[in-house]
């Protein structure tokens, strides 16, 4: 005990002796004045986009950068992708005639240091002017096009940014060709014609432009201004489109209780196809004669519903990796099945609630998706989370083997969200739904400045269901199990059936296309007779049992055969004639439908009506 006490006293003596000596050393040193902290200020960036010769397809870009802290070697970068489209697109490949000047017009030396980076020797200049052209002859919602009719451009595919300065504000002035008008979701700069401002690059790159002699129709929903801007002729009724769109916007307002923007612009080009979501606008493309008949018009409204719902789901309710963005690399997430699949599901929900389609439309659409999924062996190879994560290398690059290795996070995601909504409704006795999940994510993540994770989404769904959904998520989201539709559908009085059950009729199993009299295999699903008997994608089928093959004849001829019968196929493979003996298999079930169960209970009827606002039966 005494020894311990002595040891403690020695430690105390050493400690205080050190403190005293240290204090004396500090007193002996002269105080140095603290250096002033340098405040980093962002550059002042302005762009001018011109289009003096539309027939050349060259958009002319001038970028002026004023920066008191201009580095000796300034770097500007071109994004390699644009949010909402998960593929590295290498926009820099379209840049040409790059120049850099100081404020006096003196040329500055520059060099490329990577595929999308230009480095400039600034020579002490605090303001530099950069010029370049971008070849723009590709009309998609994620690229640029300039021609005799219009200019459409996606800023991420056109405008460079200063390295490390994605939070910097900027302005963009458009010099339209002749009498063309300019439309974008960006707010205008007061007193400056065709000039707009962005608070940062995430906003700038999220704001497409349409420049043309477009048609414009304005309308108001809940006091907020909206407009359609349309370039191109077609068999559309713009007033009808606006009226039907307003109904869907109203349903979104009812769901979330607000419209989180000051104004909204729908940019529509009547060529191409597809859409891309943005914070307060969307870019839509549709075939000019694709607004009739009613089925095609309904498909167009479905696209509108999808892109508009994105202004919550993805643009504000953000999955973990989707914002703020890295514009030079892939932004990986396992949640595209929510970003896109949930949004695809709400297309039909919004249209049904707006009275634009009936319940059968919803159920037939889901049955059709399920039928297509059954024809994809890839459903046993890739989960929804894996499909989401691998979108960058697979989704936009399908090949002949995709059917065997992949699924779509859009379509299977839509199915899983459909079933999840029903599961939440039935477990909560109709008190909660997927709507409540989306509202929770909006309130707890978007409004609190957070992104959500896969665990957050599952937690939100379980909170609304009032029970664990771990089995559901493990089977159908992170797992690859066959979906048991009836286990869930039966709870609201529905059943998933095949109108054409499996039969002994002869079956080959390859996917075919016919063009100019040539019958070709486009893909060969695994485990089909075509696959097991050695047929390959791109084989040209010339004859079956010595008879000239056409798609129509092949269907007729196989219809006369039975499972187990053998046929001889004559094919060209790489221009070499081959003959293959094929043993036919059974024709799988098809013609899937979702229909009412027999003798539904009152509870099933109640839940069904609450869900689809129609009586069951």
pLDDT in tens, 313-327: 999 999 999 999 999
What pLDDT does 617 receive?
80
What pLDDT does 34 receive?
56
What pLDDT does 461 receive?
98
Q: What is the mean pLDDT of residues 149-165?
A: 98
Q: What is the mean pLDDT of residues 238-251?
A: 98
Q: What CATH code is assigned to 44-204?
A: 2.60.40.3650
Q: What is the mean pLDDT of residues 353-378?
A: 98
Q: What is the CA 95 to chain-centroid distance, rounded?
A: 25
Task: Return the higher-pLDDT residue of 30 and 459.
Answer: 459
Residue-wise pLDDT tens digits, 192-211: 999 999 999 999 999 999 99
Q: 40: pLDDT confidence band, cut at 50, 70 and 90?
A: confident
What pLDDT does 22 receive?
41
Question: Above 50 in pLDDT, residue 79?
Answer: yes
Residues of the chain with CATH 3.30.2010.30: 215-292
Q: What CATH code is assigned to 503-588?
A: 2.30.42.10
Q: 33: pLDDT confidence band, cut at 50, 70 and 90?
A: low
Residues of the chain with CATH 2.60.40.3650: 44-204
* Alpha-carbon gap, residue 151 to 229, rounded angstroms: 13
Task: Return the higher-pLDDT residue of 14 and 444.
Answer: 444
Q: 550: pLDDT confidence band, cut at 50, 70 and 90?
A: very high
What pLDDT does 32 receive?
52
Angle ∠(427,428,429) on CA atoms, nearest 5: 95
Nearest to 48 by CA among 60, 40, 58, 33: 60
Sheet of 281-285: strand order equals 215-221, 224-231, 264-269, 281-285, 274-277
Question: Above 50 in pLDDT, residue 28?
Answer: no
Complete DSSP assignment for 443-482: IIIITTT--B-HHHHHHHHHHHHTS--HHHHHHHTSS-PP
Q: 6: pLDDT confidence band, cut at 50, 70 and 90?
A: very low
CATH topology assigned to domain 215-292: Zincin-like (3.30.2010)
Q: What is the CA 464 to chain-centroid distance, rounded?
A: 26
**CATH number, domain 342-492+602-612, options 1.10.390.10, 1.10.10.10, 1.10.3210.10, 1.20.1440.230:** 1.10.390.10
Task: Return the higher-pLDDT residue of 6 and 237.
Answer: 237
What pLDDT does 37 receive?
63
Comparing 22-26, 69-73, 212-216, 501-505, the range with the smallest average pLDDT is: 22-26
Q: 15: pLDDT confidence band, cut at 50, 70 and 90?
A: very low
Nearest to 302 by CA among 253, 254, 239, 345: 345
* Alpha-carbon gap, residue 460 to 478, rounded angstroms: 17
What pLDDT does 207 receive?
98
Q: What is the mean pLDDT of residues 600-611?
A: 98
What pLDDT does 38 receive?
64
Question: Above 50 in pLDDT, residue 10?
Answer: no
Complete DSSP assignment for 192-238: STTEEEESSHHHHTT--EEEES-EEEEEEETTEEEEEEEES--S--H
Question: Above 60 in pLDDT, residue 26?
Answer: no
> Are residues 313 and 336 in contact, defined by beta-carbon separation less than 8 angstroms?
no
What pLDDT does 383 receive?
98
Residues of the chain with CATH 1.10.390.10: 342-492+602-612
Comparing 10-14, 87-91, 132-136, 138-142, the range with the smallest average pLDDT is: 10-14
- Mean residue pLDDT of the chain comes to 94
């Amino acid at each position: 005990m005494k020894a311990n006490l002595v040891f403690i006293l020695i430690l105390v003596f050493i400690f205080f002796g050190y403190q005293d000596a240290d204090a004396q050393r500090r007193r002996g040193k002269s105080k140095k004045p603290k250096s002033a902290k340098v405040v980093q200020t962002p550059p002042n960036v302005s762009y001018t986009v011109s289009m003096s010769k539309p027939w050349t397809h060259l958009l002319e870009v001038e970028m002026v950068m004023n920066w008191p802290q201009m580095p000796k070697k300034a770097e500007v970068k071109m994004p390699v992708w644009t949010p909402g489209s998960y593929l590295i697109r290498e926009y820099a490949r379209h840049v040409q005639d790059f120049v850099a000047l100081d404020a006096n017009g003196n040329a500055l030396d520059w060099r490329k240091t990577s595929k999308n980076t230009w480095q400039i020797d600034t020579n002490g200049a605090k303001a530099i002017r950069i010029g370049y052209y971008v070849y723009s002859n590709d009309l998609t919602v994620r690229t640029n096009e300039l021609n005799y009719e219009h200019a459409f451009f996606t800023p991420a595919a056109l405008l460079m940014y200063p390295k490390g300065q994605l939070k910097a504000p900027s302005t963009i002035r458009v010099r339209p060709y002749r009498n063309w008008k300019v439309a974008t979701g960006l707010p205008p700069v007061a007193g400056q014609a065709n000039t707009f401002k962005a608070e940062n690059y995430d906003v700038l790159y999220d704001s497409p432009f349409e420049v043309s002699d477009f048609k414009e129709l304005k309308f108001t929903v809940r006091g907020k201004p909206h407009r359609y801007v349309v370039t191109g002729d077609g068999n559309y009724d713009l007033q009808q489109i606006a009226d039907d769109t307003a109904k869907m916007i109203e349903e979104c307002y009812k769901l979330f209780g607000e419209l989180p923007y000051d104004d909204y612009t729908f940019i529509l080009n009547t060529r191409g196809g597809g859409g891309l979501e943005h914070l307060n606008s969307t870019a839509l493309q549709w075939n000019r004669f694709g607004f009739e008949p009613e089925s095609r018009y309904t498909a167009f409204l479905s696209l509108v519903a999808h892109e508009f719902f994105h202004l919550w789901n993805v643009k504000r309710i953000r999955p973990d990796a989707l914002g703020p963005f890295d514009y030079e690399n892939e932004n990986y997430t396992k949640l595209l099945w929510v970003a896109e699949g949930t949004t695809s599901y709400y297309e039909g929900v919004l249209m049904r609630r707006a009275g634009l389609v009936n319940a059968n439309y919803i159920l037939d659409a889901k049955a059709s998706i399920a039928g297509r999924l059954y024809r994809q062996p890839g459903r046993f190879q890739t989960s929804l989370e894996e499909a989401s994560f691998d979108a960058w290398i697979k989704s936009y690059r399908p090949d002949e083997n995709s059917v065997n290795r992949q699924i779509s996070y859009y379509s299977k995601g839509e199915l899983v969200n459909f079933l999840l909504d029903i599961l939440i409704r039935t477990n909560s006795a109709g008190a909660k739904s997927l709507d409540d999940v989306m509202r929770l994510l909006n309130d707890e993540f978007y409004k609190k400045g957070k992104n959500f994770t896969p665990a957050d989404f599952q937690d939100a769904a379980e909170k609304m269901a009032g029970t664990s959904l771990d089995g559901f998520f493990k089977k159908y989201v992170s797992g690859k199990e066959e979906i048991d539709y009836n286990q869930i559908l039966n709870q609201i009085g529905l059943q998933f059936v095949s109108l054409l059950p499996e039969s002994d009729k002869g079956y080959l199993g390859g996917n075919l296309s016919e063009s100019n009299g040539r019958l070709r295999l486009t893909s060969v699903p695994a485990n089909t007779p075509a696959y097991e008997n050695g047929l390959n994608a791109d084989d040209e089928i010339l004859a079956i049992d010595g008879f000239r093959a056409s798609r129509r004849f092949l269907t007729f001829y196989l219809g006369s055969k039975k499972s187990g019968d053998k046929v001889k196929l004559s094919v060209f493979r790489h221009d070499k004639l081959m003959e293959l003996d094929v043993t036919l298999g059974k024709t799988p079930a098809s013609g899937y439908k979702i229909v009412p169960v027999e003798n539904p209970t009152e509870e099933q009827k109640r839940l069904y009506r609450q869900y689809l606002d129609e009586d069951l039966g």
